[in-house]
A and B are shown apart, each in its own frame.
Chain A
Amino acid sequence: MFSFRYVMRETGQNLWRNILLAVATVVTVGVSLAMFGGFMLFQVAVDSATARWQDGVELIVWMNADADTDEDSSVRNQLDESPGVQRWEYVDREESYEEFREFFEDTPEVLDIFTAEGVPPYYRVVPTDPDPDVVEELGSQFKGKPGVRTVTFAGDVIRDVQNLSNRAGRVLFVGSIILLGASTLLILNTLAVAISNRRTEIEIMRLVGATKWFIRVPFMLEGLVQGLFGAVVAMISNALLRTYVIDQFSDADGLQLLAGFKVDDAAMLRVNLLVVAIAVGVAVIGSNLAVAMHLNE
């Protein structure tokens, strides 16, 4: 029994009557979601740049691309028997090549040089003690072994990048949660003003027999529209952040460490969908609170 035209007209009128408050709400929702989106994108980019070094991996034993089975078994046995190794994971040639392709997907000239056969498999090793001296001592046991090409360490720079990212991420995350709370309250307040402005209409609607949902829906849609416009602001911000900040890092000459610092299209889509979902959540909570507190049907 809902008239689509009626609901659209009433929602539009509500927004237009409180246009300044509506804009303020959209901006606040947009900024908070943009902060949240930024936090997510940086996490994705840092994870991408330090993918091999996640979950406590402190050293990587790179094998020669042409290492034979005996050489491989010898390294495995030593990893199994070494008390300094908590756990290890083998990344075979195909997986390694796949990682390599992802890592250099923006630089086809590098991809052209290597084939799957030329990319070495490797072991990701989590030591029992992350102390740099102990890790270095552990790594040295593998250096020079037959079939081993080299041993690399997480090193201070990787750790610093991860720590900085975690700390900056926490600040962004907490900030965005606070702003999302403020957004919810602002949507609530905007709707409270809209309800107050229309109290005569609402009283008439009640008395002539409009149903509860007929009265509520335009207000709830108003909240939803504000939330979705906020999400659009945040998605624009995400796109700008990706193009002008994150991609600039990965393109910068000499910053080899940041070569993998990027956000692919799938991750971007995931972050944007999350932003929209949160916007809808904030709008639904704010709208429901407003109608429950202020709309006495």
Chain B
Amino acid sequence: MIKMEKVTKVFKGDVVALRDVTIDIGKGEFVFLVGPSGSGKSTFIRLLNREDVPEHGRIYVAGRDIGSLSGWRVPFLRRNIGYVFQDFKLLQKKTVAENVAFALEVIGKGPQVINRQVPAILELVGLSRKMDRFPQELSGGEQQRVSIARAFVNRPLILLADEPTGNLDPTTSVGIMRLLERINEIGTTVVMATHDRSIVDSMRQRVVELDRGMVVRDQARGVYE
């Protein structure tokens, strides 16, 4: 599903964010990206979404070399990739249902699709009864569920999550991880950058550790360290 071949990303001032990274992530895998701050986790995720392009190497998503995609095709790539933010990024003036519907509306889906898919995804994340609430009326965990619902409503092949539990307490984090696990069980490939040791240790999924832009460990059913 995701393949990186000798990928190097250098930022201004010769700061090397990723160095010669080669990795293969299969369909339906759940992968934790771990490592200290500045190790290249966020850059890894941004490259998969074509928010950045590498200086060297190739990246394939669903068999397609995304580095060679012309600009107008990038939005269509992103429709196959859900994105979950650490800080939720919900629109405060829209209700829960409107926040989720927004993701479908802006890719041109009509009311019929929206009316069918939004309640279904809110059911999946357990927020059916709060669909008319506004984000400020929800707890942090609930807000992150809305963010996940928005990322998954279009049924993407891949879900990228950048520290999705970073702003949540441990109990709430467990709930969010259960949800991501469920989405993964449906067949979605999940790549999650995290600092949360207890979560990584309890889930026993594949762990890719980055340090100064290099992959220093790639372990199936691994632990944080």
Q: Which residues of A approach B to under 8 Å, CB–CB?
A: 1-3, 6, 200-201, 203-212, 214-215
Query: Chain A's interface: helix, strand, loop or mixed, by majority?
Result: helix
Closest chain-A Cβ to B151's Cβ sits at a distance in Å of 8
Report B-chain residues with C-beta under 8 Å of the C-beta of A205.
Answer: 106
Cα–Cα, bound, A206→B49 (Å): 10
Cα–Cα, bound, A2→B105 (Å): 10
Please give me the residue from chain B that is nearest to A200 by CB atom.
B89
Q: Which residues of B approach A to under 8 Å, CB–CB?
A: 49, 51, 71-72, 75-79, 83, 89, 91, 102-103, 105-108, 110, 150-151, 154
Cα–Cα, bound, A203→B89 (Å): 9
Closest chain-B Cβ to A2's Cβ sits at a distance in Å of 7
Cα–Cα, bound, A269→B123 (Å): 60
Q: Which of B77, B105, B151 contacts A3 (CB 8 A)?
A: B105
When the two chains form their complex, are residues B103 and A204 in contact, meaning their CB atoms are under 8 A apart? yes
Please give me the residue from chain A that is nearest to B80 by CB atom.
A209
Report A-chain residues with C-beta under 8 Å of the C-beta of B89.
Answer: 200, 203-204
Cα–Cα, bound, A11→B49 (Å): 28
Cα–Cα, bound, A200→B89 (Å): 7
Inter-chain contact count A-B, CB under 8 Å? 54
Closest chain-B Cβ to A16's Cβ sits at a distance in Å of 12
Report A-chain residues with C-beta under 8 Å of the C-beta of B83.
Answer: 207-208
Cα–Cα, bound, A208→B75 (Å): 7
When the two chains form their complex, are residues B71 and A208 in contact, meaning their CB atoms are under 8 A apart? no
When the two chains form their complex, are residues A1 and B108 in contact, meaning their CB atoms are under 8 A apart? yes
Cα–Cα, bound, A110→B78 (Å): 76
Report B-chain residues with C-beta under 8 Å of the C-beta of A1.
Answer: 107-108
Q: Which of A200, A203, A214, A215 contacts B108 (CB 8 A)?
A: A214
Please give me the residue from chain B that is nearest to A203 by CB atom.
B89
When the two chains form their complex, are residues B105 and A211 in contact, meaning their CB atoms are under 8 A apart? no
Report A-chain residues with C-beta under 8 Å of the C-beta of B72.
Answer: 211-212
When the two chains form their complex, are residues A2 and B108 in contact, meaning their CB atoms are under 8 A apart? yes
Closest chain-A Cβ to B47's Cβ sits at a distance in Å of 14
Cα–Cα, bound, A205→B75 (Å): 9
Q: A6-B106, A207-B51, A214-B106 are in contact. List 5 more A-B contacts (CB 8 A).
A: A6-B105, A208-B107, A208-B154, A210-B107, A211-B75
- Known contacts A200-B89, A200-B91, A203-B89, A208 near B108 by CB under 8 Å: no
Cα–Cα, bound, A212→B202 (Å): 41
Please give me the residue from chain B that is nearest to A9 by CB atom.
B105
When the two chains form their complex, are residues B79 and A208 in contact, meaning their CB atoms are under 8 A apart? yes
Report A-chain residues with C-beta under 8 Å of the C-beta of B103.
Answer: 204, 208
When the two chains form their complex, are residues A212 and B91 in contact, meaning their CB atoms are under 8 A apart? no
When the two chains form their complex, are residues B91 and A204 in contact, meaning their CB atoms are under 8 A apart? yes
**Closest CB pairs A-B (n = 10):** A1-B108, A209-B79, A209-B78, A210-B106, A209-B75, A208-B103, A207-B83, A205-B106, A211-B75, A209-B107
Closest chain-B Cβ to A203's Cβ sits at a distance in Å of 7
Cα–Cα, bound, A215→B105 (Å): 12
Cα–Cα, bound, A23→B89 (Å): 31
When the two chains form their complex, are residues A207 and B91 in contact, meaning their CB atoms are under 8 A apart? no
Closest chain-B Cβ to A64's Cβ sits at a distance in Å of 75
Report B-chain residues with C-beta under 8 Å of the C-beta of A206.
Answer: 75, 78
Report B-chain residues with C-beta under 8 Å of the C-beta of A6.
Answer: 105-106
Closest chain-A Cβ to B38's Cβ sits at a distance in Å of 22
Closest chain-B Cβ to A220's Cβ sits at a distance in Å of 16
When the two chains form their complex, are residues A201 and B91 in contact, meaning their CB atoms are under 8 A apart? yes
Report B-chain residues with C-beta under 8 Å of the C-beta of A203.
Answer: 89
Please give me the residue from chain A that is nearest to B151 by CB atom.
A208
- Known contacts A201-B91, A203-B89, A209 near B105 by CB under 8 Å: no
- Known contacts A207-B78, A209-B75, A211-B75, A3 near B108 by CB under 8 Å: yes
Report B-chain residues with C-beta under 8 Å of the C-beta of A200.
Answer: 89, 91
Report B-chain residues with C-beta under 8 Å of the C-beta of A204.
Answer: 89, 91, 102-103, 106, 150
Closest chain-A Cβ to B61's Cβ sits at a distance in Å of 13
In the complex, 23 of the A-B residue pairs with CB atoms within 8 angstroms, ordered by the A residue number, are A1-B107, A2-B108, A3-B110, A200-B89, A201-B91, A204-B103, A204-B106, A204-B150, A205-B106, A206-B75, A206-B78, A207-B49, A207-B51, A208-B79, A208-B83, A208-B107, A209-B76, A209-B77, A210-B75, A211-B72, A211-B75, A212-B75, A214-B107
Cα–Cα, bound, A3→B108 (Å): 6
Report A-chain residues with C-beta under 8 Å of the C-beta of B107.
Answer: 1, 208-210, 214
Cα–Cα, bound, A200→B150 (Å): 14
Cα–Cα, bound, A21→B164 (Å): 38
Cα–Cα, bound, A2→B108 (Å): 6
Please give me the residue from chain A that is nearest to B83 by CB atom.
A207
Cα–Cα, bound, A293→B102 (Å): 25
Report A-chain residues with C-beta under 8 Å of the C-beta of B150.
Answer: 204, 208
Report A-chain residues with C-beta under 8 Å of the C-beta of B110.
Answer: 3
